[in-house]
Amino acid sequence: MEKNKLIARLCLSALLVVLAAVALVPIALTFTNSLMTEREIGANYGLLGEMTDVAAGGRDLFINLKLLPDWLTLSQYGQVLIFNPAFLRMFWNSAGMVLPIVAGQTAVASLSAYAFARLRFRGRDKLFLVYLMTMLMPFQVTLVPNYIMIARLGLLNKEASIILPGIFGAFGVFMLRQFMLHIPGTYTEAAKIDGAGHGTIFARIILPLVMPGVASLTVLLFVDYWNMVEQPLIFLQDAFKQPLSLYLAHINRTARGIGFAASVLYMTPMILLYLYAESYFVQGIQLSGIKG
């Protein structure tokens, strides 16, 4: 019995490993290609987007997919970090916008989410649907009114034009509300009987219980805003203020090699944050384990 279980677990693990490997191919490619020389990149991928002439033997011409570089080199990274002052500047710009957004939205949203999830008031569900609707609007639709609003507030070309709307986004409200709904009423009943107010219930009971939710929200928000393209494109005219996401919104085909290196650097903060938040998930298990 135990042995069967072990074999089943092994098979399942093996299957998942294969799937995971497939999922990782693009990232692995990005990483290994970032270590190639520009020349090698050119030789491998020069034919992308081309139509080769069949009369000249084009039927047999393909790009050359290579997982491992012939020559390991950090020259692409050197290009990005040393010869490209824009990159670091934009990196810090991104950090300066994304961190306040993530912190702000998490804080504001956890309060709103508490109201939507744990309180009873008139029009609650309708109001929530309105929050939801704003999330569904494609950015092109609200672009013009948003621009008018931001210009009226005098925020055009200021970081605040990105940070403020970011803080008040509905995503966090939506997500944390969902997590708060999970918590059985019995958890808070006792506190209510003891005379605890909503402030106490929120801070002492609900918030600790939704920590796994907050952790995943942090990761998702960070990823979303680290990758934002449209808003800074329109609202931040000044190239010196633009975030990193605009640095490689669209990799130039002649700068493919640098693009790979820039991508790796670009991904690093997100990966680190994920790894950090992941340990939080584990803590979350323990917490709910104790309480439950």
Partner 1 sequence: MSRRLRGRWRGGDGAAALLFLAPGAAGFALFYLFPFAMGLWYSLTDRTIGGRFVGLANYEALLASGSFRKAAANTLLFTGVSVPILIALSLGLALLLSRPLFLRRWLQTAFVLPLVVPVASVVAIWQIFLDWNGSLNAWLHGLGYGRIDWLQSDWAMPTLVAMYVWKNVGYDMILFLAGLLSIPQSYYETARIEGAGRLRQLTHITLVYLTPTTVFVILISIINSFKVFRETYLLAGDYPYDRIYMLQHYMNNMFFSLDIQKLTSAAALMVGCIVILAGSLLAAEKRFRSWME
Partner 2 sequence: METICSQVGEEMATSVYYIGRAAGNTERFGRRLNIGRWMAMKRIGLMTALGVLLLSVSACSGNGGNAGGSPSAANGQSGSSAGAQQTNAQTDGKGAGAGTKAPVPAREEIKLPTGPVKLVVASFEPSEQLKQAVKKYEQAHPNVTVELQAAQSEFKSLDSQIANIEKYVATTNTALLSGKGPDVMELDLLPREKLVGRGLLADLGDWMNRDADFNKPDYFVNLLDNLQIAGGLYAMPLSFYPVALLGDEAAIEKDGGVQDGDWTWDEFAESAKRLIQKGTHPHALANTPDYMLSELVGERYAQFVDEAGRRANFDSPDFAGLMTQVKQLFDDGVVIDLMKANFRSESMADNPKINTYFQSTQIPSPMEFLMLMDQYGGNTRVYTKPHAKEMGPGGYFIANQTMGINAASPVKEQAWDFLKFLLSEQGAADPDISLGHTGFPISKIAYDKEIKKLRDEGEVPGYKNGPAESDPFKVNEAHLDLLDGIVTAAVHPVGQSTKIGDIISEESKAFFTGQKSAATVAKLIQNKVTTYLNE
Q: For residues 86-125, which are near partner 2 according to CB under 8 A?
A: 86, 89-90
In whole angstroms, how far apart are CA 273 and each of 12, 80, 179, 221, 278?
Answer: 28, 22, 21, 11, 8
**Cα R_g (the chain), whole angstroms:** 24
286 CB-near residues (< 8 Å, 6+ apart): none
Selected from 167, 176, 209, 258, the binder of partner 2 by CB under 8 A is: 258
Selected from 237, 268, 279, 283, the binder of partner 2 by CB under 8 A is: 237
Selected from 37, 75, 146, 157, the binder of partner 1 by CB under 8 A is: 146
Rounded to the nearest whole angstrom, what is the least distance from the CB of residue 99 to partner 2 in the complex? 21
User: Is the separation of the CB atoms in 210 and 183 below 8 Å?
Assistant: yes
Selected from 13, 64, 254, 283, the binder of partner 2 by CB under 8 A is: 254
Tell which positions 104-133 bind partner 1, by CB under 8 A. 107-109, 111-112, 114-115, 119-122, 124-125, 128-133
d(CA 218, CA 93): 19
d(CA 81, CA 86): 9
Tell which positions 218-277 bind partner 1, by CB under 8 A. 219-220, 223, 227, 229, 245, 248-251, 256, 259-260, 263, 266-267, 270-271, 274-275
What amino acid is encoded at 214 in this protein? V
In whole angstroms, how far apart are CA 79 and each of 226, 249, 258?
Answer: 22, 18, 7
Tell which positions 10-49 bind partner 1, by CB under 8 A. 10, 12-13, 16-17, 19-21, 23-24, 26-27, 29-30, 45, 47-49
Phi then psi dihedrals of residue 243, to 5 deg: -80, 170
62 CB-near residues (< 8 Å, 6+ apart): 47
Widest pairwise Cα distance in the chain = 86
Q: Which does 283 bind (CB under 5 to 8 A by kind): partner 2, partner 1, none?
A: none
By beta-carbon proximity to partner 2, the closer residue of 160 and 176 is 160
| Total number of residues that touch partner 2 (CB under 8 A) | 37
Would you count residue 205 as binding partner 1 (CB under 8 A)? Answer: no
Rounded to the nearest whole angstrom, what is the least distance from the CB of residue 205 to partner 1 in the complex? 13
Selected from 217, 262, 265, 277, the binder of partner 2 by CB under 8 A is: 262
